[in-house]
Amino acid sequence: MLAIERQRKILEASRRDGAVRTQELSAVLNVTEETIRRDLDALARQHLLHRTHGGATEISMAIHELSQSERVGRQASEKTVIGKLAAKQVGANETIVLDASSTALEFARHLPEGKSLRIVSYSKDVIERLSIRTDLELILLGGIYDPKGKRFGGMLTEMGIRSMRIDRFFFSGGGYDKKLGIGEPNPEQARLKATIMSHAIWKCAMLDHTKLGRATDHYFAKPSEIDLLVTDTEGGKFFAVKPSGGQALEVRDL
């Protein structure tokens, strides 16, 4: 297969799925991973793809924010495990803030029982998912409603955050840079998350591997501010790591 034909197929896959992985493309197109990396680099130089760690994303994903329904279907299996692992960090009698990410929805599904938790979120979907639980105190932060993200935001939301103690903040983001940290394509969401970061005692980022190395416009969490990063690799391994120099611990007991 000629390079131009391979690259056409790669672009088709990225537009269909939003992101492509080097390992999977290598198997599907029957070429080496090094060949795929060269193809991805060539497409990135033409501004047709956005290169990420282990693959690439459709170029519009680096610029535009996806809706909540679009985000839920991407890397669903990875988000399920990441949410489950992050939920193991929860302690008894804590006030926990969840963002409006699709990974937070998976986290909510795995929240442990019997810990007398207060769950705070500005996500309509997160609160609705937890509404069947009788052992939780749920607080939905109000503000200006964004139907695309199914979430609230703005000054009223930030005022609500400032009025309470936050033991733990579990969140995701649009991309992660080793130096700049975690960012969002939406400046209002980045500002809200920065406010929560400044009030939370302990912070946990939940990012699937497609977010690693992805550029974003508005950064809200420096690596040194993150207590734990739960993520995965292209090969299907999951890790918990302290971003600012901590040793990555591979998680085997899922």
Along the chain (254 residues), what's the average pLDDT of each consecutive run of 10 residues?
A: 89 80 91 93 84 73 52 72 93 96 94 95 95 95 89 92 96 91 89 96 94 87 93 81 61 43
Counted residue by residue, the chain has a size of 254
pLDDT at 250: 45
Q: What is the chain's alpha carbon radius of gyration, rounded to the nearest angstrom?
A: 19
Are the C-beta atoms of 40 and 22 separated by less than 8 Å? yes
pLDDT at 59: 62
- pTM value is 0.70
DSSP secondary structure string for all residues of 30-57: TS-HHHHHHHHHHHHHTTSEEEETTEEE
* Helix 187-199 / helix 155-162 crossing angle, nearest 10 deg: 10
Spatial separation of the C-alpha atoms in residues 120 and 137, rounded to whole Å: 8
Task: Kindly list the domain boundaries of the chain, sorted by start residue.
Answer: 3-62, 68-251
pLDDT at 26: 92
pLDDT at 113: 92
Spatial separation of the C-alpha atoms in residues 244 and 93, rounded to whole Å: 28
Cβ neighbours of residue 58 under 8 Å, at least 6 residues apart?
Answer: 14, 15, 18, 19, 49, 50
Spatial separation of the C-alpha atoms in residues 97 and 231, rounded to whole Å: 19
Q: Which amino acid is at 209?
A: H
pLDDT at 62: 46
In Å, what is the CA distance from 246 to each residue of 53, 224, 229, 240? 19, 10, 10, 10
Q: Specify the CATH number for 3-62; select among 3.40.640.10, 1.10.10.10, 1.10.3720.10, 3.30.830.10.
A: 1.10.10.10
Q: Does domain 68-251 have CATH number 3.40.50.1360?
A: yes
Site of tokens 């929805």: 105
